[in-house]
Amino acid sequence: MNSKDKVALVTGAASGIGRATVERFSKEGALVVASDLREDVLAQVKSKFPEVHLINGDVTRSEDTHRIVRETEAQFGQLNILVNSAGIVTRNLGTDVDFEEGWDKVIEVNVKGTMLMCHAAVDAMRNHGGGTIVNVGSIMSFGGYPNSLPFSDGFNPYPASKGAVAQMTRDMGVRLIKENIRINAVCPGFVYTRLTKKATEIPEVLEAMVELHPIGRLGRPEEIANVIAFLASDEASFVVGATWMVDGGWAAQ
């Protein structure tokens, strides 16, 4: 796989899978734009990879998504790859957020944010003969939380949001490939990231999470980034509208 000289825009780039993806593309010689709402944390990416271009922005705001794409084009002349890694879970929103606010926020970031970034990027890709988009879904794109985990009473918005990401990927994928815009999703099992930190700090919850994966452990962000890099590469040219599970065997049980 080689993304050398391709322009890659990664959202949710300040940490976790997004940051690992920035690092992977940077090492391959891509021209990387890292975008995140958390400007202070995003600056840490720049300290490690000074060649990466930073753009602060909110994926839930249409004006921001179009600005992020415009600034990417202004910096590098085009946009070849978009990775939608921005995402949230309710347990990280704080105790002052009520049920409805939490539901709305998760749907807004995970679903609307992915859609708005795709919409803005597709316009740019059309102007340059095509491109590729990799959305970050989840194993929760395909089912609810297991009863062994204390994450849901049946009303957690995260599975619904990631189910929507998978379906958007299929719909966009089959429609936009005719314009040489190839769209797929990577759907991880549980990975050690900021989103899972509060859960993995509780020994009994971590044990239950690990038991869901036949491989016997959680994933690492760089393992997901490796698959993202493949799906974004020319080697995956026949992969269209797919939802790739990278889950340590969870779904195969």
**Known catalytic residues?**
158
Distance of alpha carbon 22 from alpha carbon 31, whole angstroms? 10
SS (H, E, C) the chain: CCCCCCEEEEECCCCHHHHHHHHHHHHHCCEEEEEECCHHHHHHHHHHCCCCEEEECCCCCHHHHHHHHHHHHHHHCCCCEEEECCCCCHHHCCCCCCHHHHHHHHHHHHHHHHHHHHHHHHHHHHCCCCEEEEEECCHHHCCCCCCCCCCCCCCCHHHHHHHHHHHHHHHHHHHHHHHCEEEEEEEECCECCCCCHHHHCCHHHHHHHHHCCCCCCCECHHHHHHHHHHHHCHHHCCCCCCEEEECCCHHHC
Q: Are 55 and 33 in contact (CB under 8 A)?
A: yes
Bridge partner list, 185:
135, 243
